[in-house]
Amino acid sequence: MDERIRDDFPILRRHEHGKPLVYLDSAATSMKPGAVIEAEADFYRKSYANVRRGVYELAAEATDLYEGARAKVASFIGARPDEVVFTRGTTEALNLAAWGLGETYVDPGDEVLVTEMEHHANLLPWQEMARRQGAHLRAAAVTQDGELDRDDLRRKLSPRTKVLALAHVSNVLGTVNPVAEVAAEAHRAGTRVVVDAAQSVPHLPVDVRELGADLVAFSGHKMLGPTGIGILWGRNDLLSELPPLLTGGEMVREVWLNWATWDSPPARFEGGTPPIAQAIGLGAAADYLRAIGMDEVRRHGEELTALALDGLLGRPYVTVYGPRDPALRGSLVSFSVAGIHPHDVATLLDQEGIAIRAGHHCAQPLHRRFGIPASCRASFYVYTTPDEVERFLAALDRVWEALR
């Protein structure tokens, strides 16, 4: 990775407690390059107006920028623009998916299948949908190595399974799930497949058609883009069958006092004034990642993950969760330090300017599966250097010496 990339991220010049910031929490959210900050600011400075409704030139320009951003994001994931719905983030996208699929396809006695490794954002919307529809929620197991138990998934997949929802990359274990293979099996059972790609689209080359899913959700803020913007991708024929989650302005064709007809996708799912500047910022983020090349982003992430895994596995006081092979992982590693609470580890690392995450990472059932209440997580992105990973590992030894 080009060293100059770091210069594009103004926040990385910060110091914490007198030490240069080592930001190892990109799985929670990524930092923003100047190009993204400027794209958003430029829109407010030069082209700002509401989209879709104005006939004047400024509104047309704003609409072009907004729709241009949709086209950039679509091409980033190998999709068509009319298949890309802007949401506030992965959470909203998955809620939209659960609402729409529930209303359309799920009846009392049906089943919805998730996995034990899901983020709460890909669990609670399905819990709620199953409750509303009188359906049963089931979960495929995770093996001790942190992989999806494919046999258990096969056992739980039946003609009653209307939806399978799973993560592409686990935000705790790092596991890259074989979505294309699993989706093919699910489709043979007549099941619709929803993928939480919050941790994959930012880090791996993802082509939604190769992924083979029916709906795919991800967030802008984890891929160098702004907060408040995310994506639900869906095949247009499927999106056309789903009802909206939000009703209101700009998502309708005809409105009478007692009834209304919905617009076609993606407008149908974008009721109200959308996050316009954020979408434009996300378009700039997609441009930035594309200029680096997603193969290079992946290669860099794998290199850093290999370095961290190697260092952590070589320390007898550390327990690592998830696959041992960096090729089977996203750009993150979760671990525990023997007898020391994850919050204490993170607090002492912060004293050295190193930001890692400690907690259940919004995956309580998964932590329960491994018999722990919480874990530490270090995660990496395009601006992370091997030197930073080494500094983290050396600081971890000092934490261990201080608290053992």
* Positions marked catalytic: 362
Residue 85, phi then psi, degrees to nearest 5: -100, 130
Least separation in angstroms between residue 226's CB and ligand PMP is: 11
Least separation in angstroms between residue 206's CB and ligand PMP is: 14
3 state DSSP class of 355 = strand
Least separation in angstroms between residue 229's CB and ligand PMP is: 9
Instruction: Round to whole Å and give the CA distance between 4 and 16.
Output: 22
**Where on the phi/psi map is residue 167: left (φ > 0), alpha (ψ -120 to 50), or beta?**
beta
Range list of H helices, 244-313: 276-292, 294-313
Q: Which residues bind ligand PMP (CB under 6 A)?
A: 28, 89-91, 119, 121-122, 167, 171, 196, 198-199, 219, 221, 362
**Residue 48 CB neighbour total at 10 angstroms:** 15
Instruction: Round to whole Å and give the CA distance between 131 and 143.
Output: 28
Residue matched to tokens 């799912």: 269
Least separation in angstroms between residue 221's CB and ligand PMP is: 6
| Three-class DSSP labels, 160-207 | CEEEEEEECECCCCCEECCHHHHHHHHHHCCCEEEEECCCCCCCCCCC
Smaller CB separation from ligand PMP, 198 or 396: 198
Smaller CB separation from ligand PMP, 28 or 286: 28
Q: Residue 244 carries which DSSP code?
A: P
Smaller CB separation from ligand PMP, 62 or 197: 197
Nearest C-alpha neighbor of 195 from the set 174, 171, 172, 211 = 211
Beta bridge partners of 23: 355
Least separation in angstroms between residue 25's CB and ligand PMP is: 10
Smaller CB separation from ligand PMP, 231 or 280: 231
Smaller CB separation from ligand PMP, 28 or 101: 28
